[in-house]
Amino acid sequence: MDALKYRLLLGLLLLLTGGAGFAGTGTDQSVPVEKVRVARIKAAFLYHFAQFSAWPEEALGDAAMPIRLCILGKDPFGSALEQLQGKTVHNRPLEIRHLPVGASARGCHLVFMGPMPKQVLQTSLKQLQNQPVLTVGEGEDFLKQGGIVRLVEEKNRVRFEINVTAARRAGLQLSARLLRLARIYEEAG
């Protein structure tokens, strides 16, 4: 093996090395394909949560009224919510609304609570306590704070936990199938 060929190959290796290092900078922002995938899976869960929940008649209004899915605070779904556009739940159109942090979510049927300070979350959950609103979040203490459904990333999959006490308090009826697949949380006392 002559020295020139060896150097040429070493140059190629360095070029690839440099290329990979360069390619590795800042690409998370441009093509976060895995993040989009995770968001799409979670958005599909929201749709199913609405399908397997029953609200009191008075919370739904007349037959033409939509089921409102609200994203409270920072929206972690982005374009993943597009797959819910034009869908119906319980023969009613599904309507998606975005609400700023701290806004009232009354009038929503299902609220996903995005990342927000603990105090703000607590206040929002308190406002919705005893209201027929299915609250969904991801924080570790979400159920302890009175939230109803918590999405959990575990072993590379999405799992969900349900606070049955809070669901009962809200007057929501969750299907047996949903409860069978969930991890059940009951408030003490």
Binding of another protein at residue 23 (CB under 8 A)?
A: yes
Binding of another protein at residue 32 (CB under 8 A)?
A: yes
Binding of another protein at residue 140 (CB under 8 A)?
A: no
- Around Cβ 76, how many Cβ atoms within 10 Å? 16
Site string for another protein, 89-128 (x = CB under 8 A): ----------------------------------------
Q: Is-contact 125 147, C-beta < 8 A?
A: yes
Q: Rounded to whole angstroms, how far apart are CA atoms 162 and 122? A: 17
Structure tokens at 133: 């609103």
Binding of another protein at residue 189 (CB under 8 A)?
A: no
Q: Which position among 57, 64, 91, 157 is part of the footprint of another protein (CB under 8 A)?
A: 157
Binding of another protein at residue 151 (CB under 8 A)?
A: no
* Longest Cα–Cα distance in the chain: 85
Q: Rounded to whole angstroms, how far apart are CA atoms 128 and 104? A: 9
- Around Cβ 146, how many Cβ atoms within 10 Å? 22
Residues near another protein (CB under 8 A) are: 1, 5-6, 9-10, 12-13, 16-17, 19-21, 23-25, 27-28, 31-35, 37-38, 40-41, 43-45, 47-48, 52, 83-84, 87, 153, 155-159, 177-178, 181
